[in-house]
C-alpha cells in the first residue's frame, strides 16, 4: 500500500481557499486595443487642428476650459471650435491630407507622427490638470510655434 502525502504549499493552499470561495487568483489580461483602431476626434479653430482621444462633449468642465484656453492662446481670431473628424486613427492620415491652410496640429494624448511640419504632441488634458508642471513644456512649444 502506497500512501502519497502531498505537501500543501502556501500557494496551493491560497489557491484552494480562493477556489472554494469562487474566486480566481489570476485572470487573463484583456487584449490590447490595436492603436490603429482607436477613435480619434479632430477639432479645428481657425488654422489650428487639435487631436483628442475623447470627444469634446465627454470632457469635464476643467478639461474643456483648459482646451479652450490653449486654443485661444494659439488662435487669436474669433473662430469657433468645430469638430471636423471622428474615426479610426488609421483613417486619420487621409483626413489630414485633405486639409489645407493648417498652421499647426496639437495632439492631446494621441501620439502620432504625421508628415506635418508643425505638430505638438502633448499629454492628455486630464494629466495636464493633475500635474500642472506639464503645462510649461506645452506653453513653450506653443510659444516656439508662434515665433
Report d(CA 56, CA 63) in Å as an integer. Answer: 9
Burial 108-136 (b: 16+ CB within 10 A, else e): bbbebeeebeebbbbbbbbebbeeeeebe
Residue 56 grid coordinates? 469634446
Q: List, for residues 18-59, the tens digit of each pLDDT value.
A: 788 887 766 666 666 555 557 788 888 888 888 888 888 888
Q: How confident is the model at residue 146 (pLDDT cuts 50, 70, 90)?
A: low
- CA dihedral over 115, 117, 118, 120, signed as positive or negative: positive
The angle at the Cα of 26, spanning 25 to 31, to the nearest 5 degrees, equals 155
Whole-model pTM: value is 0.68
Greater confidence (95 vs 114) lies with 95
Per-residue buried b or exposed e for 9-35, using 16+ beta carbons within 10 Å of the residue's own CB = eeeeeeeeeeeeeeeeeeeeeeeeeee
Work out the average pLDDT over 117-141. Answer: 87
Amino acid at each position: 500500500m502506497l500512501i502519497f502525502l502531498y505537501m500543501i504549499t502556501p500557494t496551493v493552499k491560497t489557491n484552494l481557499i480562493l477556489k472554494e470561495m469562487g474566486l480566481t487568483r489570476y485572470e487573463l489580461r484583456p487584449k490590447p486595443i490595436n492603436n490603429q483602431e482607436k477613435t480619434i476626434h479632430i477639432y479645428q479653430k481657425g488654422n489650428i487642428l487639435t487631436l483628442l482621444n475623447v470627444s469634446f462633449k465627454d470632457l469635464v468642465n476643467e478639461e474643456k476650459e483648459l482646451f479652450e484656453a490653449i486654443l485661444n492662446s494659439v488662435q487669436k481670431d474669433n473662430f469657433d471650435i468645430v469638430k471636423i473628424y471622428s474615426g479610426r486613427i488609421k483613417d486619420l492620415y487621409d483626413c489630414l491630407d485633405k486639409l489645407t491652410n493648417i498652421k499647426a496640429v496639437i495632439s492631446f494624448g494621441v501620439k502620432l507622427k504625421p508628415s506635418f511640419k508643425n505638430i505638438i504632441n502633448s499629454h492628455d488634458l486630464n494629466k495636464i490638470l493633475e500635474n500642472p508642471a506639464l503645462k510649461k513644456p506645452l506653453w513653450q512649444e506653443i510659444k516656439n510655434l508662434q515665433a
